[in-house]
A and B are shown apart, each in its own frame.
Chain A
Amino acid sequence: GAGVSQSPSNKVTEKGKDVELRCDPISGHTALYWYRQRLGQGLEFLIYFQGNSAPDKSGLPSDRFSAERTGESVSTLTIQRTQQEDSAVYLCASNTGGGFEQYFGPGTRLTVT
């Protein structure tokens, strides 16, 4: 079946602009996660959605970052007033919840110039 998809695959934006990144999880997966990976670094947890529960936003680095999820489907990560330090690959993952294997999308490579 189809895996996790993300769009766009690459995004170049100017400092100060807003960007939206999209994630389509695997059908039936109730949990969705966003991570950030800077060049040569590990994955940083950003936010987690599980069903209709309030999202775990504890990893969001600033109030410029926000995310929404429509039911148990698509999620959008929004970064407002982008800064150069926001340049990274943004990875989305989904699973059936809990500590089970997460399936990752191919990521969106964001470059802020």
Chain B
Amino acid sequence: RKEVEQDPGPFNVPEGATVAFNCTYSNSASQSFFWYRQDCRKEPKLLMSVYSSGNEDGRFTAQLNRASQYISLLIRDSKLSDSATYLCVVNMRGTALIFGKGTTLSVSS
């Protein structure tokens, strides 16, 4: 089983849609969780950290379920500029981060 698994997509949605991405991780001792965003041919950038209580940043909501070892990202009112690859990231060793392969989102007008 891969350490961090994501549905690669692509997810093709119209502007204004709500879309949800899921991610599972294999190591129950994982400590920190993040969603990064990567635009085509660009470096990854932190979108948001994921906390056990769930957290929201504008149109973006992240949830963590430790019992199921599952992380989600919800994007409401999708914009064209949201088109990117979303990377689920887990800290398993307390040091290096483990990245999922990413889920590609394409928002169209």
Which residues of A pack against B, CB within 8 Å? 31, 33, 35, 41-43, 45, 48, 50, 56, 59, 91, 97-102, 104-107
Q: Does B99 contact A (CB under 8 A)?
A: yes
Q: Does B59 contact A (CB under 8 A)?
A: no
Complex interface: chain A residues within 8 A of B45 (CB): 104
Which chain B residues (79-109) contact chain A, with CB distance < 8 Å? 87, 91, 93-102
Complex interface: chain A residues within 8 A of B94 (CB): 98-99
Assess A42 versus B101: contact at CB under 8 Å? Given A99-B32, A101-B46, A106-B43. Answer: yes
> B97 touching A102 by the CB < 8 A rule?
yes
Q: Report the minimum CB–CB distance from A108 to chain B (whole Å).
A: 11
Q: Report the minimum CB–CB distance from B28 to chain A (whole Å).
A: 16
Complex interface: chain B residues within 8 A of A45 (CB): 96-99
> A41 touching B101 by the CB < 8 A rule?
yes
Complex interface: chain B residues within 8 A of A31 (CB): 95
Which chain B residues (1-52) contact chain A, with CB distance < 8 Å? 31-32, 34, 42-46, 49
Complex interface: chain B residues within 8 A of A106 (CB): 42-43
Complex interface: chain B residues within 8 A of A43 (CB): 44, 87, 99
Q: CB-nearest residue of chain A relative to B90? A: A99
Q: Report the minimum CB–CB distance from A32 to chain B (whole Å).
A: 11
Give Cα A41–Cα B31 distance, bound, in whole angstroms: 24
B43: contacting residue among A98, A101, A107, CB under 8 A = A107
A99: contacting residue among B31, B46, B99, B102, CB under 8 A = B31
Assess A42 versus B99: contact at CB under 8 Å? Given A99-B31, A99-B32, A101-B34. Answer: yes
Q: Report the minimum CB–CB distance from A75 to chain B (whole Å).
A: 14
Q: Report the minimum CB–CB distance from A29 to chain B (whole Å).
A: 14
